[in-house]
Structure 1
Amino acid sequence: MQERPWLSDDQLRAWVHYLGAHTLVQRALERHLHEAAGISHAEYEILTRLDGAPGRRMRMGELAAVLFSPGSRLNYRITRLAGLGWVRREQHPTDRRGLYAVLTDEGADFLRGVTPGYRQAVRRHVVAPLTDEEFAELGRLSRKLFQHHLARGD
């Protein structure tokens, strides 16, 4: 019996294009943030998550979970952002082991300054090449993959 290929030719082409597009978009956004603001995409996401949180603060464990980031990597990035004055750590008032990451006023000001350029970069690299219908389909398919992996606990 002949073994079935892992992907059909059409599936393989789609997979290779997906991988390439993902890599190039990530690279373009990373490059934009590095050149425009001296930060990584992961650091930008930390700042935006904190900015959207109540009181501009999140427990470190909660932040790691929503970023799908190991605690040690998040701790490294928080230390860097704290060194820049954009984030600070605060002790939880009742849990001695609990720490919060808190976006400072300086961090919020920095984020407000860098966000318009980031949004333009997202529009240029992701939205502009697609029609409105294609972008909606990209959103639908991405949501489906995201929910699938969340349900599996990946």
Structure 2
Amino acid sequence: MQESRRLSDDQLRAWVQYLGAQTVVQRALERHLHEAAGISHAEYEILTRLDGAPDRRMRMGELAAVLFSPGSRLNYRITRLAGLGWIRREQHPTDRRGLYAVLTDDGAEFLHGVTPGYRQAVHDHVIGPLTDDEFAELGRISRKLFQHHLGRD
């Protein structure tokens, strides 16, 4: 069994500050999307990923992988968004087990209407409080952590 490393006081302080910042930013963006559009941050991300995909479609497994979302949770969200008319499911033409999520025209219109306010909220809660250099450093740190967890160090 691996011995746990003790965090120094500075490391612990930085870790707690990171957790607090991540939590308040996530809650602020979640609140903004709920109040402005009646959707969750996860649902916004689904719509965004589909909007950027070729033909606005992705296989469900691929969508789950890029969102780091378990299939059951993704299916729940896709069902909700489909009920709103923003996404439809399509069967793969040659793979009976393959299923696509497709962003509808109504979904794209909804997304494009919500996006300017979302971008403003990101600016207000993340970009605005930081200098350009600090924001660039945040990007470098985030990319490094992301790549580490994908095994791409």
Flag whether TM exceeds 0.5 (same fold): yes
Letter in 2 for 1:107: G
Secondary structure of the residue aligned to 1:94 is coil
Q: Percent identity?
A: 88
TM-score (structure 1 length as normaliser): 0.95
Match of 1:21 in 2: 21
Q: Deviations over 1:1-36 (max 9, x none)?
A: xx9961001001100000000000000000000000
Match of 2:12 in 1: 12
- Is 1:31 aligned to 2:59, yes or no? no
TM-score (structure 2 length as normaliser): 0.96
Q: CA RMSD in A?
A: 1.3
Q: Which runs of 5+ in 2 are unaligned?
A: none
Q: 2-side partners of 1:151 and 1:9: how far apart?
A: 28
Query: Matched residue pairs, number?
Result: 150
Q: Deviations over 1:50-84 (max 9, x none)?
A: 00000000000000000000001000000000000
Q: Which runs of 5+ in 1 are unaligned?
A: none
Deviation, 1:41, is 0.1
Match of 1:58 in 2: 58
Letter in 1 for 2:83: G
Q: 2-side partners of 1:66 and 1:142: how far apart?
A: 16
Runs of 4+ displaced beyond 3 Å? none
Q: Deviations over 1:74-103 (max 9, x none)?
A: 000000000000000000000001000000
Q: 2-side partners of 1:52 and 1:133: how far apart?
A: 28
